[in-house]
Amino acid sequence: MPFFRLLRAGTASLLLLGACTPYLHQHLLATQPARLGAELEANELWRSLPPAKRKVVVAVYKFRDQTGQYKPQANGASFSTAVTQGATTILLRALEESQWFEPIERENLGNLLNERKIIRSTRQEFTEQTGQKQPALPPLLFAGIILEGGIISYDSNILTGGAGLRYFGAGASGQYRQDRVTVYLRAISTSTGKILKTVYTSKTILSQQVDASLFRFVNFKRLLETETGFTYNEPSEMAVKDAIEKSVQALIYEGFGDKLWSPRDTADAHGPGIQSYQKEKAENLTIDVLGRQVQPRRTGFGLGLTVAAQQYQGDYTGPVWRPGAELTLRAQVSAPVSLFLNLGRGQLAAGPGGSFFSQTFTYAEAGLLYRLMPLDRFTPYLLLGAGATGREPLRWSAPAAVLPHVVAGVGAEFLVAPRLGLSLGVDNHYYLSDRLDLVSQGRYNDYYWAGRAGLTFYLGQLKVKQSE
Give me the pLDDT at residue 464, please. 57
Length reported for the chain: 468
pLDDT band at 468 (very low <50, low <70, confident <90, very high): very low
* Whether residues 272 and 354 fall in one domain: no
Give me the pLDDT at residue 147, please. 95
20 belongs to a structural domain: no
Last residue of a domain, one of 250, 284, 318: 284
Please determine, for residue 182, whether its predicted confidence score (pLDDT) is greater than 60. Answer: yes
Give the residue among 194, 278, 277, 259 at the shortest CA–CA distance from 56: 259
Domain extent for 150: 40-71+80-106+143-284
pLDDT band at 396 (very low <50, low <70, confident <90, very high): low
Would you say 173 and 105 are in contact if contact means Cβ atoms under 8 Å apart?
A: no
* Whether residues 185 and 323 fall in one domain: no
193 belongs to a structural domain: yes
Give me the pLDDT at residue 221, please. 78
192 belongs to a structural domain: yes
406 belongs to a structural domain: yes
Average pLDDT over residues 435-463: 86
Please determine, for residue 222, whether its predicted confidence score (pLDDT) is greater than 60. Answer: yes
Residue 151 is inside which H or E element, if any? strand 145-167
Please determine, for residue 428, whether its predicted confidence score (pLDDT) is greater than 90. Answer: yes
pLDDT band at 25 (very low <50, low <70, confident <90, very high): low
- Give bridge partners of residue 312 from the DSSP assignment: 448
* Whether residues 242 and 311 fall in one domain: no
Q: In this structure, are strands 420-431 and 222-233 parallel, antiparallel, or unpaired?
A: unpaired
Q: How far is CA 375 from CA 105, 329, 331, 407, 440, in A?
A: 48, 20, 16, 25, 46
Give the range among 138-142, 182-186, 214-218 with minimum mean pLDDT. Answer: 214-218
Percent of the chain scoring above 90 in pLDDT: 47
* Whether residues 193 and 273 fall in one domain: yes
pLDDT band at 245 (very low <50, low <70, confident <90, very high): very high
* Whether residues 354 and 413 fall in one domain: yes
Average pLDDT over residues 22-35: 62
138 belongs to a structural domain: no
Please determine, for residue 326, whether its predicted confidence score (pLDDT) is greater than 90. Answer: yes
Number of Cβ within a 10 Å radius of residue 454: 20
* Whether residues 255 and 368 fall in one domain: no
CA angle 296, 301, 302 (to 5 degrees): 100
* Whether residues 159 and 92 fall in one domain: yes
pLDDT band at 466 (very low <50, low <70, confident <90, very high): very low
* Whether residues 55 and 151 fall in one domain: yes
CATH at residue 328: 2.40.160.20
* Whether residues 275 and 315 fall in one domain: no
Task: For helices 87-98 and 236-257, give the axis angle rounded to 10 degrees.
Answer: 50
What pLDDT digit, counting tens, does each position of 66-93 carry? 888 777 666 665 677 888 888 999 999 9
Please determine, for residue 42, whether its predicted confidence score (pLDDT) is greater than 60. Answer: no
Give me the pLDDT at residue 235, please. 87
Would you say 344 and 362 are in contact if contact means Cβ atoms under 8 Å apart?
A: yes
Last residue of a domain, one of 284, 315, 348: 284
Give me the pLDDT at residue 415, please. 93
* Whether residues 260 and 349 fall in one domain: no
End-to-end CA distance of the chain: 67
Last residue of a domain, one of 253, 284, 315: 284
Give the range among 32-36, 113-117, 328-332, 351-355 with minimum mean pLDDT. Answer: 32-36
Mean of all residue pLDDT scores within the chain: 85
Give me the pLDDT at residue 397, please. 59
* Whether residues 227 and 351 fall in one domain: no
Q: In this structure, are strands 145-167 and 56-60 parallel, antiparallel, or unpaired?
A: parallel
Q: What is the DSSP string of 227-290?
A: EEEEEEE--HHHHHHHHHHHHHHHHHHHHHHTTS--BSSGGGGGSHHHHHHHHHHHHHTTB-TT
Number of domains in the chain: 2
Give me the pLDDT at residue 9, please. 53
129 belongs to a structural domain: no
CATH at residue 184: 3.40.50.10610
Here the contacts of 114-117 (C-beta below 8 Å, separation 24 or greater) are: 116/140
Q: How far apart are CA 271 and CA 305, in angstroms?
A: 46
Q: How far apart are CA 206 and CA 161, in angstroms?
A: 12
Give me the pLDDT at residue 393, please. 77
* Whether residues 62 and 184 fall in one domain: yes
Q: How far apart are CA 78 and CA 253, in angstroms?
A: 39
**Backbone φ/ψ region at 76: left (φ over 0), alpha (ψ -120 to 50), beta:** left
100 belongs to a structural domain: yes
Give me the pLDDT at residue 58, please. 95
Give me the pLDDT at residue 219, please. 82
Average pLDDT over residues 150-165: 88
Q: How far apart are CA 221 and CA 223, in angstroms?
A: 6
CA angle 127, 133, 137 (to 5 degrees): 100
Q: How far apart are CA 156 and CA 177, in angstroms?
A: 9
Give me the pLDDT at residue 1, please. 44
Average pLDDT over residues 194-211: 92
In 3-state terms, what secondary structure has residue 467?
coil
Give me the pLDDT at residue 458, please. 94
Phi and psi at 9, nearest 5°, equal -65, -40
114 belongs to a structural domain: no
In 3-state terms, what secondary structure has residue 83?
coil
**56 or 42: which leads in pLDDT:** 56
Number of Cβ within a 10 Å radius of residue 8: 16
What pLDDT digit, counting tens, does each position of 361-388 carry? 999 999 999 999 888 889 999 999 999 9
Q: How far apart are CA 108 and CA 61, in angstroms?
A: 8
Average pLDDT over residues 397-420: 88
- Give bridge partners of residue 421 from the DSSP assignment: 415, 456
